[in-house]
Amino acid sequence: MEHIYDDECIFCKIIKGEIKSAIVKENEYCIAFNDVSPKAKTHILIVPKTHVKDIMYLDDFYMCKVLETIKEIASELGLDEKGFRVINNCGKEAGQSVFHVHFHLLSGSIKF
């Protein structure tokens, strides 16, 4: 599958390896890395490897891959037992600041 990137986008740069990040998991369709400004003990961003600005533009295929990746990470980190929260901010009034769709996976001492 062909992935579409935006040269100006910070998350596309992370996907392409042009900016460093603490990668937690990566597969053909998604990358997951630690949030640089964590709001919880565990704060990971799950990002589809295609540049769409928000969840309204994300197709079902990528949404499924994101969900699979979230569940894999949760199991691997034992969060399926401990509990976790998934957040997506869509648009400015929701507080979205990076306009490449992404999902926050949070667990432990959540400060949101």
The residues of the shown chain that bind Zn ion, judged by CB under 5 A, are 6, 9, 11-12, 51, 100
Q: Report the residue from 6, 26, 35, 72 that binds ligand AMP according to the rule CB under 6 A.
A: 35
| 100 carries an active-site annotation | no
Secondary structure (H, E, C), 41-56: CEEEEEEECCCCCCHH
Q: How far is the CB of 81 from ligand AMP (least distance, A)?
A: 25
Q: Is 37 in the site for ligand AMP (CB under 6 A)?
A: yes
| Dihedral (CA of 92, 36, 73, 23) sign | positive
Q: How far is the CB of 108 from Zn ion (least distance, A)?
A: 28
Q: CA dist 96 to 28, 55, 88, 89, Å?
A: 25, 11, 8, 5
The residues assigned a catalytic role are: 102
